[in-house]
Amino acid sequence: MKEKTAEDYLFEITCFLVASVERCLGPERDYGPSRLLQTLYMLSFLPDYQPELKGNELLMKVRAYVEGDPQNFWREPQLKKFVSELSVELAKEIKKRRQLKKQT
């Protein structure tokens, strides 16, 4: 199969999100959080298709988490625990970036 371009990959994410919204409005309402996490996982691969994007550590943490247990990452309570930890990491990252901006 032909290798995916950035456009192809962006479209793949679009398909996933449209399908997720449609399903979450219906019988898969409870899967909303895991679909969002899956989207973060997909975003972690964007730099592979668009090299000018550097990616970031948070996305890499999501990737490691999903790939650590691909069939159960979406289950609670581990998803809740991971997202709670990720939220703290997010605060640290925001602070780091604000610091960098002040310096420049």
Partner 1 sequence: MNHESLMAALKERRSVRLYKKQPIPMEKLEQLVEAARWAPSAGNSQPWQFLLINDENMVSILKTISPGWLEEAPALIIMCINKKRETNWSYVDSGAAMQNILLSAESMGLGCCPIGSFVVPTITELLEIPAHLEPILFIAVGYPDEKPPATTRFPLEELIYKRVGN
Site residues (vs partner 1, CB under 8 A): 1, 12, 15-16, 18-20, 22-23, 27-28, 31, 35, 38, 70-71
3-state secondary structure of 69: coil
Give least dist CB 6 to partner 1, A: 16
- C-alpha dihedral sign at 37, 93, 101, 44: negative
Comparison of 23 and 61: residue with beta carbon closer to partner 1: 23
Amino acid (1-letter code) at residue 29: R
Angle at 32 between CA 63 and CA 41, to 5 degrees: 15
Give least dist CB 79 to partner 1, A: 14
Comparison of 46 and 93: residue with beta carbon closer to partner 1: 46
- Distance in angstroms (rounded) separating the CA atoms of residues 41 and 68: 12
Give least dist CB 56 to partner 1, A: 23
